[in-house]
Amino acid sequence: MFSIISGVGAFLVDQFLKGQVEKDKIETGKQYFGDLITIKKSVNKGLIMNNLEEKPRWVLSWVSAMFGMTAYIYLLTLGKKHRKIKRLGLALMVGAAASNLYDRITKGGVTDYFVIKGIPKIVFNLSDLVIILGAVISVLGEIVGDDD
């Protein structure tokens, strides 16, 4: 149950932040943690770092949906016992992927908003971070094995 709530939470928090950036309620150009993170609104109409942006929107939505569905199906096939860590990681990945897919389908591109000092050409969002975090947690869950 915790994993499902975490996945839904990832979706909702990212959608909230995207909405705030889109409505300019979060000041663009504002820096946080000193100047480590800057808010910069960007719409990614492609896949990672705008690659394939010239492809039709349905192709990109399909690729995104396949990633999320693969993780979701894998999550469903895991037994409920002894896989709490792995289920958490997969649920985070599914929720975050769903947030980006929702943007891609409803807005034609994914709203990104974070820039990290030292790598200004990469703009990303919370879901991107949560997908990576979920993958790391899933791998750790596989390494750790059974967890009661």
pLDDT digits (tens, 9 = 90+) for 33-44: 888 988 888 877
Q: Is residue 145 part of a domain?
A: no
In this predicted structure, the answer to whether residue 9 has a pLDDT above a threshold of 80 is yes
Whether 8 is in a domain gets the answer yes
Host domain of residue 120: 2-139
Residue-by-residue DSSP string for 93-133? HHHHHHHHHHHHHHHSSEEEEEEETTEEEEEE-HHHHHHHH
Beta-carbon contacts of 20 under 8 Å, excluding residues fewer than 6 positions away, are 26
Cα–Cα dist 27/21, whole Å: 7
**Structurally, how many domains does the chain consist of?**
1
Establish if 147 belongs to a structural domain.
no
Q: How many CB atoms lie within 10 A of CB 19?
A: 12
pTM of the model: 0.76
In a domain, 135, yes or no: yes
68-91 pLDDT, tens digit per residue, is 667 767 666 676 666 788 888 888
